[in-house]
């Protein structure tokens, strides 16, 4: 989705007018004009802050899908050094929806694995809109095992609507690849940090997110199904997508409340796409801090904690007094 949001377009137009007024004010010393510019700047900031603070869940879905949000390769350029991409799964081919390789962050060597959605029609087709085939997950597992072999922390960057659901993906073992990726990450003897930077959907996202720390950008989303798919399944009507979005609770705040992530990484006002360098700096601080914490924990303890963390996902409160593993928590104790 290359377009801006409707509200975002109005803010951009207002900021353009303010810029034009500033250009005029530089040519004439006009105190009244300076005051008007300052008033408009403060008003624009207040409007934007209020809008995004009170944004509904569907707006967050739209923000997470914006094509001009920073993608994996943007963060590679802004955050990491000495990136060396590794290709192929050694079985079928090189899936361009999943990228990875060696890199450095803050002087520390790490292994990167993540999704790239691409931009423009040609770029998105090449990346399959960020939806990996089985060979993408097998490439990811190959790099994960390399990280373990060389004692490198693993950083996964998730930005996918989900695993590709096409017939050819199923023929090549999509469900098996997803299960194997989750199993590999759950037992991998190296620290793992996952960062959700945009849209994270279904098992296709979870297959790259079994981590010791899961970070989530402020305007990213993480959910078991897209609102459109959920609406089609429950109501047989895709126009119910906004209702589905409210029920799915996909936002960073929702996921933190449900205990599915560990930390929300703040974004510049209006979203990470408004100021990519600042968004990257905020993300870098969070990654470095969490890397320091997880690498200070001994490996046996880390793996056990990782197992228990995901084993406890989906435990809900039984009104009879016991905690029962089952469906996803609704966040309302006593409800089934």
Domain presence at residue 38: no
Tell me, what's the pLDDT at 118? 94
DSSP-assigned letter for residue 108: E
Tell me, what's the pLDDT at 7? 65
CATH number of residue 104's parent domain: 3.90.226.10
Q: pLDDT per residue over 184-228, tens digit each? A: 999 999 999 999 999 999 999 999 999 999 999 999 999 999 999
Domain presence at residue 326: no
Q: What is the CA radius of gyration of the chain?
A: 22
- Distance between CA 190 and CA 106 in Å, rounded? 18
Domain presence at residue 215: yes
pTM, 2 dp: 0.84
Domain presence at residue 268: yes
Beta bridge partners of 132: none
Domain that holds residue 234: 61-314
Task: Classify 95 as helix, strand or coil.
Answer: coil
Domain presence at residue 207: yes
Beta bridge partners of 315: 325
Query: 3-class secondary structure for 181-250?
Result: HHHHHHHCCCCEEEEEEEEEEHHHHHCCCCCCEEEEECCCEEECCCHHHHHHHHHCCHHHHHHHHHHHCC
Residues 6+ apart with CB under 8 A from 100: 85, 86, 111, 112, 113, 114, 139, 140, 143
- Segment among 12-26, 89-103, 163-177 with least mean pLDDT: 12-26
Domain presence at residue 156: yes
Domain presence at residue 48: no
Domain presence at residue 330: no
Number of folded domains in the chain? Answer: 1
């Amino acid at each position: 989705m290359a377009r801006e949001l409707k509200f975002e377009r109005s803010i951009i137009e207002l900021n353009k007018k303010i810029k034009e007024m500033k250009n005029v004010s530089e040519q004439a010393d006009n105190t009244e004009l300076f005051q008007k510019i300052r008033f408009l700047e403060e008003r624009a900031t207040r409007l934007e802050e209020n809008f995004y603070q009170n944004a509904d869940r569907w707006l967050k879905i739209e923000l997470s899908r914006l094509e001009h949000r920073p993608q994996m390769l943007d963060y590679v350029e802004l955050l990491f050094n000495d990136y060396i991409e590794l290709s192929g799964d050694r079985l079928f081919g090189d899936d361009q929806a999943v990228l990875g390789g060696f890199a450095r962050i803050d002087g520390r060597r790490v292994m990167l694995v993540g999704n790239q959605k691409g931009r423009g029609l040609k770029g998105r087709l090449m990346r399959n809109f960020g939806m990996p085939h089985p060979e993408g997950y097998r490439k990811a597992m190959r790099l994960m095992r390399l990280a373990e072999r060389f004692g490198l922390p693993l950083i996964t960057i998730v930005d996918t609507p989900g695993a590709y659901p096409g017939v050819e993906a199923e023929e090549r073992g999509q469900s098996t690849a997803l299960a194997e990726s989750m199993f590999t990450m759950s037992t991998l003897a190296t620290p793992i940090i996952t960062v959700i930077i945009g849209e994270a959907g279904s098992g296709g996202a979870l297959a790259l997110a079994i981590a010791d720390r899961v970070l989530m950008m402020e305007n990213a989303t993480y959910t078991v199904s897209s609102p459109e798919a959920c609406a089609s399944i429950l109501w047989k009507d895709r126009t119910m997508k906004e209702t589905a979005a409210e029920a799915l609770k996909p936002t960073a705040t929702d996921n933190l409340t449900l205990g599915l992530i560990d930390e929300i990484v703040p974004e510049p006002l209006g979203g990470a796409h408004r100021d990519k360098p600042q968004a990257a700096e905020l993300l870098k601080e969070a990654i470095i801090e969490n890397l320091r914490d997880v690498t200070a924990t001994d490996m046996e303890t880390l793996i056990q904690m990782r197992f228990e963390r995901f084993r406890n996902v989906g435990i809900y409160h039984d009104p009879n007094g016991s905690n029962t593993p089952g469906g996803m928590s609704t966040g309302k104790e006593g409800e089934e």
